[in-house]
Amino acid sequence: MQPVKRIEIILDFQDLAKIVKILNSLGISGYTVIRDVTGSGDRGLRPGDELTDVFKNSYIMTACPEEKMQEIVEAIRPLLKRFGGICLVSDAQWVIH
Amino acid sequence: MQPVKRIEIILDFQDLAKIVKILNSLGISGYTVIRDVTGSGDRGLRPGDELTDVFKNSYIMTACPEEKMQEIVEAIRPLLKRFGGICLVSDAQWVIH
Amino acid sequence: MQPVKRIEIILDFQDLAKIVKILNSLGISGYTVIRDVTGSGDRGLRPGDELTDVFKNSYIMTACPEEKMQEIVEAIRPLLKRFGGICLVSDAQWVIH
Amino acid sequence: MDASLIINNFLSPPILFFFLGMLAIFVHSDLDIPQPLAKFFSLYLLMSIGYRGGAELAHSGMTWEVATAMGAAMLMSVIVPIYTFFILTRQLKMVVHDAAAIAATYGSVSAVTFVTATAFLQKLEIPFGGHMVAALALMESPAIIIGVLLYRLFTARNPNKDTLADQNPANGELSWSELMRDAVFNASVFLILGSLVIGLISGGGPGEKALEPFLKDLFRGVLCFFLLDMGLVAARRLKDLRKAGASLAAFAILIPLINAILATAVAKMIGMSLGDALLFVMLCASASYIAVPAAVRLSIPDANPSLYVPMSLAITFPFNIIVGLPLYLSTLKLFWS
Amino acid sequence: MDASLIINNFLSPPILFFFLGMLAIFVHSDLDIPQPLAKFFSLYLLMSIGYRGGAELAHSGMTWEVATAMGAAMLMSVIVPIYTFFILTRQLKMVVHDAAAIAATYGSVSAVTFVTATAFLQKLEIPFGGHMVAALALMESPAIIIGVLLYRLFTARNPNKDTLADQNPANGELSWSELMRDAVFNASVFLILGSLVIGLISGGGPGEKALEPFLKDLFRGVLCFFLLDMGLVAARRLKDLRKAGASLAAFAILIPLINAILATAVAKMIGMSLGDALLFVMLCASASYIAVPAAVRLSIPDANPSLYVPMSLAITFPFNIIVGLPLYLSTLKLFWS
Amino acid sequence: MDASLIINNFLSPPILFFFLGMLAIFVHSDLDIPQPLAKFFSLYLLMSIGYRGGAELAHSGMTWEVATAMGAAMLMSVIVPIYTFFILTRQLKMVVHDAAAIAATYGSVSAVTFVTATAFLQKLEIPFGGHMVAALALMESPAIIIGVLLYRLFTARNPNKDTLADQNPANGELSWSELMRDAVFNASVFLILGSLVIGLISGGGPGEKALEPFLKDLFRGVLCFFLLDMGLVAARRLKDLRKAGASLAAFAILIPLINAILATAVAKMIGMSLGDALLFVMLCASASYIAVPAAVRLSIPDANPSLYVPMSLAITFPFNIIVGLPLYLSTLKLFWS
Ligand SMILES: Nc1ncnc2c1ncn2[C@@H]1O[C@H](COP(=O)(O)O)[C@@H](O)[C@H]1O
Ligand SMILES: Nc1ncnc2c1ncn2[C@@H]1O[C@H](COP(=O)(O)O)[C@@H](O)[C@H]1O
Ligand SMILES: Nc1ncnc2c1ncn2[C@@H]1O[C@H](COP(=O)(O)O)[C@@H](O)[C@H]1O
Ligand code: NA
Ligand code: NA
Ligand code: NA
């Protein structure tokens, strides 16, 4: 097993493509997405029950080497600042296969 | 980045509103929900394939300051005792933005 | 609270049953599943927008005692080697109830 | 017994699609109906049956016939949970909480069984009254409440309860308001009753005609699709039956038969029409698997759902729509002709 | 005023199902329409209305009547956001970003309101032109663009902006291409316009006939189901209205009335038929809750959605379909007879 | 060549909705069909085509015509994967695993292409036999099995295999039972065959009539909706084609043409009717993108899905339904008149 950083980002459904673009531009090709997620945050409740996809969230998780983590976080931070959402970083062990 | 506690709760779909109520009553306005989750636990398989929403789970995650964590856990524990479900707490770094 | 290992596995939707079988055979009856998950990895993009369920992922998480973890990881590793997917292990505290 | 009726039902598309769903599980096919669709189809069937029942009731009006049917429905949904509870605890030596849950299950009704029966009657061109839909809605809840009362009556007070029952409502006693909400305002009762009232109000007007293509013409096709899904789910639950054991499996077939006999007698006594009688018998013979689990979960928390769910879903439901439907009708015909 | 028209509308199935949805929330029923279904039904309604509008336009052809209707639609969707913006900022002392978002909301239109109005006209057998669907599509975007322009015109430059506006596009200025995409190519405008063009091309041919059972016959039933869901969502948003306050709640009813009067005058002036006039009035009176939030989110990021969404969804929409529809028609009838 | 036929097809609603879907991606619209709905529509189309084929077969009975059609279907689904495999490995110097997967793709068939062709024939009022649905079901699996056999025949034994092939079944050899399940009992083959059998059993009876509004009348409309989604998905896959390169793109158009010529010859030889011949040609020209990926994933694990999926989904499928359909029919007309 190999230590990695597990970065979780929760943000507007409609900003998902922007995050994926950033990850791709940083050469990160491994990530997992849960498209339909609801929640609540600084910008109030996002119930996800409307016809428009504006008021729901998406979840992205990527496991990356420690040295890549800082780079990703820096690239994502301005997006979160502008559009809202959160980003958590935690430690994990990658099962090598 | 700022250290936080990442609390994950998995419980019956129909108890979701109760957890949200508890979080609100504790002044926690940041959380993320995945409504449709299946699984298995002490109360057997919850396949989520029936017409009734009784046999499926929901997932809630909230990232909170360390000092809030204990309070949340204590408020949730009796609910888990009565209705089933699990609660995990782990460490994470919140990306300040 | 009791320290546990949090094992997350992300793999092909169609291999989900295999993982559940392995967990059952190891006596693990507690796990949570998110059936429809998309993502990208070594085997390219898995957009989850097709009629066939072949190009989408599932997510399984199980919290288990430390001593069980190694056993689970060893049982799962050959599956990941053959069919793709990832497995992450992290630390968590189980809220006893 | 009218064998052609049985074969005829057996070979009708809805039943065949139910079998197809079961077969898919047995041969390990990856056939799978997305859950939101299955849920939509059940909502559609409830809305369709409710609206059309209400519209028909608007035509026929409230009659003596309607009142007696309601009374009979009420009666049966009180009797059934009580007598089955005692069979379960006395004869089958079952613990109180499971007995109460199973009694509620068999006292309450299955809307899908009812819906399948109406399609069967329509095919045979046997008329039935719109008020039977009201009977269906009426019969969903009482048995649940009686089941919970029996549970509370026959359960010794839990000595640990006092330590738990602190200020926090999560620990507290049974919430009657929650029970009422789950038993009376659960989605299926609510939608059937609501659609019935809408049908009553707007039936006969131009609105009824405009809704026909959606609410009436598609009905049979949607039922086929829906029973395909029910077949998948029922087959998946079959393996849970091992836990239930042979005596509960027998119970899941015998009680519907007994209830059908009781219902036949009651229907004859109050002079129901043949079509109404069949629907009434089907209601009494059917077991709930939607309303009951929702209400029982909180009110009889120690009841084991892997007993009462597969019993009603994987035995009683298939038995009723495959064998029961033609069986009950041919029996009724003996007395009604 | 034609009271029977109001009662008639009040008791029509689509409106009754809307009430049923609201009631479900008030009695805490667990009735819930799966979101993918609700989304499908809205796509279906847009496709149906678009295709049938296009097919009818293919029959009638492009006439002077069509051109003036388009002109009137364009005019109203420019005037409304501007005058409402000044009412909001001057009279109601609202901050610019919220005023701009609300102005865009009331300048743009609600397809579901339009669709409900067409069902209402069909029931009353009042004819209307297919080009009104084009007017609907035409009216969705301009108000959004005007709202954004007003916002940018009346907002003092943010001093922090320069530090943010670095190379990274995520920090940069408003992306006009993104705004255009959200305002003009958003799913609802795109699908309505696309279906309209397909209807124009293939209308009259055998294709039109073959699509009727799906696109036309099911329309009313799907509308009922859809309004059931709209009732659920609207009732859930009602409690957000407390934040909006009484003056905005009044705004959400008065502005539709004013717009309806303006639209009546314009429709009379250009000599629209009764059916077209009602649809035009409904469009002007309606407020957007699909296209606007999507576009406003990026273009007026500081606008508070818990003001403009519940105003349009939980007040203006129900008001228009329940009271407005028969009210506007009976007013129109005074001038058109 | 009958140019009017091509234009006519080009302007038919299903094809236009396919274009609309592609356009939505090109203009970056946020139009999106929820995946559960797209899946439901594909299940619906399979069920509809299966049931109606079976019902028609019940009317016509098993004839010599049916038997020869089945034989021809079997023959083509054996020949096509073999000859294409050698073109791919010899002419295009492709590695064995990708060649085998592509050969299976082009040997197997696309139910959606077939369904679009039946709608096309119905519009032109050209009759066709219900047994062609059986041919469709028959042709899905053999090419997959042949593809896997070719792969195993032409792949040098992997020296690492022995270390892997321990007790754990996850590491072991190809599971033939899994392959059979994926190839023969996959959802689409299973549902088509099952519905066909149900149609055979219940066709002609009152059940058939009652299912018509759902299974028949809605067909064309659902097809439009479904092709709208297919357009979205196909356009999203287009960019993957860059990886495939020009020679594979050419392959994805030429092989359908060659298969169409072969199928035309076979159809003429065994004396198929014009309608049956067109469906047979469409089947042979079509490439799978549902059954094949499911089976190939485990059986030819090293095959690259970003080659065979976009080839069939983004080139061959659009080519066949837009250009192929009228092209093949006008060619057939030359020989059949
Ligand atoms: N403390 C938190 N814990 C978990 N999820 C959060 C938290 N804060 C925000 N979120 C998620 O991030 C989304 C956007 O947050 P915000 O931009 O703060 O409105 C919310 O709707 C939640 O789904
Ligand atoms: N050890 C575990 N790891 C992950 N999820 C669990 C675990 N135990 C229970 N769960 C989840 O919690 C739900 C309720 O658990 P229970 O109340 O034990 O039946 C299960 O259906 C699972 O989704
Ligand atoms: N580094 C990663 N971080 C998060 N998820 C990943 C990562 N790598 C792969 N995955 C997930 O695992 C799936 C299968 O990965 P693979 O077998 O590498 O194609 C992907 O589609 C992703 O959902
Ligand atoms: Na019963
Ligand atoms: Na407006
Ligand atoms: Na082929």
Task: Look over chain B and give the mean of its residue pLDDT values, rounded to a whole number.
Answer: 94
Q: How confident is the model at residue E45 (pLDDT cuts 50, 70, 90)?
A: very high
Q: Three-state SS across chain B? A: CEEEEEEEEEEEHHHHHHHHHHHHHCCCCCEEEEEEEEEEECCEEECCCCCCHHHCEEEEEEEECHHHHHHHHHHHHHHHHHHCCEEEEEEEEECCC
- Angle, vertex CA C87, rays to CA C85 and CA C90, nearest 5: 160
Check F187 against D218: CB less than 8 A apart.
Answer: no
Q: Which atom of ligand 2 is nearest to the CA of C61?
A: 4
- Inform me whether the pLDDT recorded for D169 exceeds 60: no
The two most distant CA atoms of chain C are separated, in Å, by 44
Least confident of C36-50, E60-74, E148-162: E148-162
The CATH number covering residue F275 comes to 1.20.1530
Flag whether pLDDT at C18 surpasses 60: yes
Task: Write down the pLDDT at residue D166.
Answer: 39
| pLDDT digit string, tens, across residues F24-36 | 999 999 999 999 9
Q: Could you give the CA distance from residue C11 to residue E324 in angstroms, rounded to a whole number?
A: 53
Q: What is the pLDDT of residue F163?
A: 38
pLDDT at D174: 65
What is the CATH number that goes with domain B2-94?
Answer: 3.30.70.120
Residue type, B34: I
- For residue A63, give the nearest of C37, C59, C88 by CB distance: C88
> Higher confidence at residue E44 or residue D291?
E44
- The candidate with the shortest Cα–Cα distance to F259, out of F21, F136, F84, F14, is F84
**pLDDT mean over E139-154:** 94
At residue E239, the pLDDT reads: 84
Chain B nearest C-alpha distance from A85 (Å): 9
pLDDT of the residue at D294:
87
* Contact residues on chain F for C14, CB-CB shorter than 8 A: 294, 297
Q: Any idea which of B78-82, D3-7, E175-179, F46-50 has the lowest mean pLDDT?
A: E175-179
Inside any domain, residue E319: no
Residue E163 has pLDDT above 50, yes or no: no
Q: How far apart are the first and last CA of chain B?
A: 9
Number of domains chain E contains: 1
Tell me the residues of A at the C interface, defined by beta carbons under 8 Å apart.
Answer: 1, 4, 6, 20, 29-35, 63, 90-95, 97
* Model-wide pTM > 0.90: yes
| Cα dihedral F275, F276, F282, F284 in deg (nearest 10) | -160
Q: pLDDT tens digit string along E259-292? A: 999 999 999 999 999 999 999 999 999 999 888 9
* Position F335, amino acid: F
Buried b (16+ CB within 10 A) or exposed e, D38-71: bbbbbbbbbbbbbbbbbbbbbeeeeeebbebbbe
Nearest to B48 among D35, D168, D309 (CB): D35
Q: Is the dihedral of CA F189, F191, F192, F198 positive or negative?
A: positive
* F225 vs B52, residue with greater confidence: F225
User: Mapping DSSP to helix (H, G, I), strand (E, B) and coil, where does residue F30 land?
Assistant: coil
What domain range is D204 assigned to?
41-218+243-311
Is the CB of residue E132 less than 8 Å from the CB of residue E280? yes
Residues of D with CB under 8 A from a CB of B: 35, 38-39, 42, 164, 168, 170-171, 232-233, 236, 289-290, 293-294, 297-298, 301, 305-306, 309, 313
CB-CB neighbours of F107 under 10 Å:
31
Q: How far is B86 from chain A (nearest CA, A)?
A: 19
Residue pair B93/D182 in contact (Cβ under 8 Å)? The answer is no
Say if residue F76 is exposed, middle or buried (CB neighbours under 10 Å; 0-12, 13-18, 19+). buried
Q: What percent of chain C has pLDDT over 90?
A: 85
Instruction: Give residue E165's pLDDT.
Output: 37
| F255: pLDDT strictly greater than 80 | yes
Per-residue model confidence (pLDDT) at position E2: 72
Q: How far is the CA of E109 from the centre of ligand 1 (A)?
A: 31
Token pair for B23: 């979080």
Tell me, in angstroms, the distance from the centre of ligand 2 to residue C19's CA.
Answer: 16
Task: Name the residue of chain C whose CA is nearest to D28's CA.
Answer: C17
Sort out which chain D residues have CB atoms less than 8 A from F35's CB and list them: 34
Q: What is the average per-residue pLDDT within F242-262?
A: 93
Q: Is the CB of A39 under 6 A from ligand 1?
A: yes
- What pLDDT score was predicted for residue D173? 60
Mean pLDDT value of segment F200-206:
84
Could you tell me if residue F334 is inside a domain?
Answer: no
Token code pair at residue E331: 């007013």
Reply yes or no on whether the pLDDT at E37 is more than 90: yes
Give contacts of B2 with chain A, Cβ < 8 Å.
none
pLDDT at E283: 97
Mean pLDDT over residues B91-95, rounded?
Answer: 96
**For the CA of B34, the nearest ligand:** 1
pLDDT at site D157: 57
- pLDDT for F173 equals 60
In a domain, D13, yes or no: no
**What pLDDT band is residue E174 in, cutting at 50, 70 and 90?**
low
Predicted local confidence at residue F174, as pLDDT? 65
Distance CA D103, CA D87 (A): 9
Residue type, D143: A
Q: Which ligand 1 atom is nearest residue A43's CA?
A: 19
Please say if the pLDDT value at position E183 is more than 90: no
Report the C-alpha gap between E293 and A56 in whole angstroms: 12
Q: What percent of chain D has pLDDT over 70?
A: 94
User: How much is the average pLDDT of D52-58?
Assistant: 92
Closest residue CA from atom 2 of ligand 2: C30
CA distance D4 to D326: 9
Residue count (chain B): 97
Question: What pLDDT does E84 receive?
Answer: 97
Q: Is the pLDDT of residue E222 over 90?
A: yes
Ligand 2 atom nearest the C-alpha of C4 is 1
pLDDT in tens, D193-213: 999 999 999 987 777 889 999
Q: Is residue D46 part of a domain?
A: yes
Neighbours of chain D (3+ CB pairs under 8 A): B, C, E, F
Contact E202 F27 (CB under 8 A): no
Q: What percent of chain F has pLDDT over 90?
A: 74
CA quadruple D18, D20, D23, D25: dihedral positive or negative?
negative
Q: Residue D123: inside a domain, yes or no? A: yes
Distance CA E227, CA E116 (A): 9
Segments in E270-304 forming alpha helices (H): 274-285, 291-299
Alpha helix segments (H runs only) across D156-273: 161-164, 176-184, 187-202, 206-212, 219-238, 241-269
The answer to whether residue D12 sits within a structural domain is: no
Task: Determine, yes or no, domain membership for F207.
Answer: yes
Q: What percent of chain E has pLDDT over 90?
A: 74
- If one residue of B32, B89, B90, B94 were mutated to test the ligand 1 pocket, choosing by the most ligand atoms within 8 A of its CB, it would be B32
* Closest to E105 measured CA to CA, from E272, E259, E222, E234: E259
Protein residue with its CA nearest to atom 13 in ligand 2: B85
State residue F160's pLDDT score. Answer: 47
Residue A88: which H helix or E strand, with range?
strand A86-94
Over range D272-283, report the average pLDDT: 97
Average pLDDT of span E117-129: 94
State the distance from the centre of ligand 2 to the C-alpha of E22, rounded, in angstroms: 34
Residue B37 φ/ψ, nearest 5 degrees:
-135, 140
- D59-83 mean pLDDT: 92
Give the Cα separation of B22 and B79 in Å (integer): 10
User: Would the pLDDT of F169 be above 50?
Assistant: no
| Ligand sitting nearest the alpha carbon of D140 | 4
What's the rounded mean pLDDT across residues F111-132?
94
Contact (CB<8Å) F233/C49: yes
D47 with D195: CB under 8 angstroms? yes
Cβ–ligand 1 distance for A41 under 6 Å, the answer yes
D241-269 and D274-285 are packed helices; what angle lies between their axes, rounded to 10 degrees?
150
Residue from E153, E140, E152, E144 nearest E178 by CA: E144
The chain B residues in contact with chain C (CB within 8 A) are 8, 10, 34, 36-42, 48, 57, 59, 73, 76-78, 80-81, 86-91
- What is d(CA D308, CA D244) in angstroms, rounded to the nearest whole number? 9
Beta carbons of A32 and C59 less than 8 Å apart: yes
* Domains in chain C: boundaries: 2-94
pLDDT value at position F91? 93
B90, β-bridge pairs: B6
- Flag the least confident range among C5-9, E48-52, E181-185: E181-185
Higher pLDDT, F155 or E74: E74
Mean pLDDT of the region C42-71: 92
Distance CA F209, CA D173 (A): 54
Contacts of C93 in chain B (CB under 8 A): 88-90
Q: Does residue F129 surpass a pLDDT of 50?
A: yes
DSSP annotation of F92 reads S
**d(CA A95, nearest CA chain C) in Å:** 5
The answer on pLDDT for D123 being more than 80 is yes
Does residue C92 have a pLDDT over 70? yes
Exposed, middle or buried, E253 (CB in 10 Å: 0-12/13-18/19+)? middle
Q: What is the mean pLDDT of residues F293-303?
A: 88
Most C CBs within 10 A among B88, B90, B91, hence the mutation to make, goes to B88
The model's pLDDT over E318-333, given as tens digits with 9 standing for 90+, comes to: 999 999 999 999 999 9
Q: In the predicted model, is pLDDT for residue E23 greater than 80?
A: yes
B25 CA: distance to closest CA in chain E (Å)? 17
